[in-house]
Chain A
Amino acid sequence: MRYSLTFTLLAATGFLGSPWTWAQQGEQPETVLHVRAELVAELQAISPGNPFRAGLYLVIDRGWHINWKNPGDAGLAPRLTWDLPPGFAAGQIQWPCPELIREPSLVSYGYTDEILLPVEIVPPPDLKAGDTARLSLDAQWLECSDVCIPGRATLHLTLPVADQNPPADLHWAQLAAIIEERMPVPVEMIGGTVTAALTNREVIVRLEKRDLAAPDSVLFFATERGTIDYAAPQEWSVEGDRLTIRLVRPRNSEGNPTSLEGVLYAARGWGGPGMHKALAIQTVLPVSGGPGWAGAAFALALLAVIVAGGMRVRRKRDMGRAEGPKMT
C-alpha cells in the first residue's frame, strides 16, 4: 500500500469509512434507484499474464429494464469505463442475448430481473505474487419502466496476485450460470450456415443445419440501428434442414445496409434441447436477385439480342454483302 499525506491526514481525522475494505471481494454493491450494481470477477486472484473475466452484475427492480448494446426503439446502451492499474487491458462487453421488451407501439432490447455483463481483463505478465490490483469501473446505464432514469455506479474490486492457478470465485460461478445459455455462439458451433438477403420491404435470413429441429419460437435481435423494424412480427418457417425468417425493414429507411449482424434466439436451443439458444449472426446482406428480377433481366436481354440481330440483318442487306450462311 502506498501511503500519501492525504491518506495519513484522513486516517488521523477518522474520516476513512467502511468503503475502503481492501478485501478480495468487491466493495459493497451500489444501489442506484432501481438497479443494484456489483463488480465481480471469475477468479479469487490474478495470475500474471493470464486473462480472466470481470463483470458488471446488475439486479433490476421488477417493472424496470436496462438496455442491450442496441437499445432498440428507445433507451441507451450501458457504458463501462475502466480504470485499471498500469499494464492491464479491458476488452468489450460480452453481451448475453437480450429480451424483447414491448411497450405499446415500440420495442426495446434489454434485460430485466438480473444480468451479468462480462468483460475480459488481461493482466500484464510482470506482476508479482503477493501484489494486489485494484480494478475500478465507472458504469453508466439507463433504467426504464414507463420513464427512463440515468443510472450510474463507481465500483472497485481489489484482487491479490497469485503465482499460479488461482481458485474460481463461487459467487461468479452462480452469476455466470444465469447467462450461460444466452451467450451467443458462432453458427459453426452448431454446424450451420447463415445467409441473408435484402428486398424492398424485408430482410430474409436463412439458417441451414443438418437435422434441424423445428424450434418453438424464434427471435432475431439486430445489432445495427435502422436495419429492421423492431416491433414488427417476425414470420418464420422450417422446411427440411432450412429455417427462413422474414424481418420487416423500417418504414422510413434510407439506403440499403450491406451487412447483417445480430443474434438469433430459440428458447428450445439450436444445438439440442436447451443447448446453444443464441447464435451470433454476422453475414453480408446482398440485395435479393430473386426470380422476379432475374426473369425480367433475362427477358430484356433477350429483347436486346433480338433487336441487335434484326439490325445486323438489315445492315447486311443494305450493304449487299453475303457473309456466312445465305440470308433469306
Chain B
Amino acid sequence: MTSNTAKILLALGAFALGTQGLAQAEPKTEAATSEVATVGEKAPDFVLTDIHGKNHTLKGYAGRYVVLEWVNFGCPFVRKHYDSDNLQTLQSTYIGKDVVWLSICSSVSGKQGHFEGEELTKQVVEVNGSKATAYLTDPEGTVGRAYGAKATPHMFVIDPKGTLIYAGAIDNRPTTDKGDIKGATNYVRAALDAAMAGKKVETTVTQAYGCSVKYKQ
C-alpha cells in the first residue's frame, strides 16, 4: 500500500468517524433524568420531620449506610412484611451494625397510610413496633418524587459516601403472602451485606412491588 493511499484512507476513516459523530447528536427530547435518584450516583439530600418533630437530613448521616424504606401501613404488601416482623427484624439487625434506617411515608393527607399526631405515634410505635431510626413524613411528596418511589414498600440503600447502591423491591417475591418471605432473596440485606464486606453489590436495581404511593396531586 502506498503512503499516499494510506493517507487518503486515513482521511476517509476520520471523515466517517466525524459524520457519525454528527449523526448521533440528536436533540434531547427527554427531561433531565438526573433529577430522579439514579443508582451509581449521589442520592438526593432532603430534610424531613420525624414523629417527635425532629428534622433529619441525608447529609447529616454522611459516613454511614442509610436505608430508606417507603412505607404505607395500610398497604397489604407492607402488612406482609410488618405482620411477619420481617421489616422490624431487618431494622434492628442493621441498626445494630450502625446502619441508619429511615421509614418515609409520602401519603398525602386523607389518603391511605397518612397519620398525624397521636395516631401517627400509635401506628409507628404500638401498632407496628417499628425499630427504624426514624419514621419521617413526606406529605408533599417532594422526597418521594426525588427518589422515584412508586410502590410501597420501595427500598433504597445509600453508602457512606452518599452514593445510591440499591433501588427497588425489598425481595424477589412480589406477593402479599407472608409465607413467601422465608424463601425469598432479600435485596436490601444482600446489598448491605455485600457493600459492608467491600464486595460488589450483585443486584442494584429491581422493580419495586406493592401499592402505589399516595402522592399529593
Is chain A's interface secondary structure helix, strand, loop, or mixed overall? mixed
Given A76-B174, A225-B207, A251-B36, residue A313 in contact with residue B3 (CB < 8 A): yes
A292–B14 alpha-carbon span in the complex (Å): 14
| Residue contacts A-B, CB under 8 angstroms, 14 given | A71-B174, A71-B209, A73-B212, A74-B150, A76-B175, A106-B213, A142-B176, A226-B206, A252-B38, A254-B204, A291-B23, A296-B17, A299-B14, A312-B1
A295–B18 alpha-carbon span in the complex (Å): 10
Within 8 A of B (CB), among A2-24: none
A252–B19 alpha-carbon span in the complex (Å): 31
A201–B74 alpha-carbon span in the complex (Å): 35
Number of interface residues of B (CB under 8 A): 48
The stretch from B5-13, B58-66, B96-104, B127-135 touching chain A is: B5-13
Q: Which residue of A lies closest to B169 (CB)?
A: A225
CB neighbours of A89 from chain B (8 A): none
A252–B76 alpha-carbon span in the complex (Å): 25
Q: Are A309 and B6 in contact (CB under 8 A)?
A: yes
0 or 1 for each of A286-315: is its CB under 8 Å from B? (1 = yes): 000001100110111011011001101100
CB neighbours of B211 from chain A (8 A): 74-75, 144, 147-148
Q: Are B20 and A302 in contact (CB under 8 A)?
A: no
Q: Is A169 an interface residue (CB 8 A)?
A: no
Given A74-B211, A295-B16, A299-B16, residue A253 in contact with residue B176 (CB < 8 A): no
Given A147-B211, A150-B176, residue A306 in contact with residue B2 (CB < 8 A): no
Which residues of A come within 8 Å of B, CB atoms?
71, 73-76, 103-106, 108, 142, 144, 146-150, 201, 225-226, 250-254, 291-292, 295-296, 298-300, 302-303, 305-306, 309-310, 312-313, 327-328
Q: Are B175 and A147 in contact (CB under 8 A)?
A: no
Most chain A beta carbons < 10 A, residue from B168, B203, B206, B207 = B207
A103–B215 alpha-carbon span in the complex (Å): 10
CB neighbours of B39 from chain A (8 A): 252, 254
CB distance from B180 to the nearest CB of A (A): 11
Q: Are B74 and A147 in contact (CB under 8 A)?
A: yes
Q: Are B20 and A73 in contact (CB under 8 A)?
A: no
Within 8 A of A (CB), among B71-91: 74-77
CB neighbours of A147 from chain B (8 A): 74-75, 112, 211
Q: Are A313 and B204 in contact (CB under 8 A)?
A: no
Q: Is B162 an interface residue (CB 8 A)?
A: no
Within 8 A of A (CB), among B88-128: 111-112
CB neighbours of A302 from chain B (8 A): 9, 12-13, 16
Q: Are A252 and B212 in contact (CB under 8 A)?
A: no
Top 7 A-B residue pairs of the complex, sorted by shortest distance between their CB atoms: A299-B16, A302-B13, A295-B20, A254-B205, A299-B17, A309-B1, A74-B212
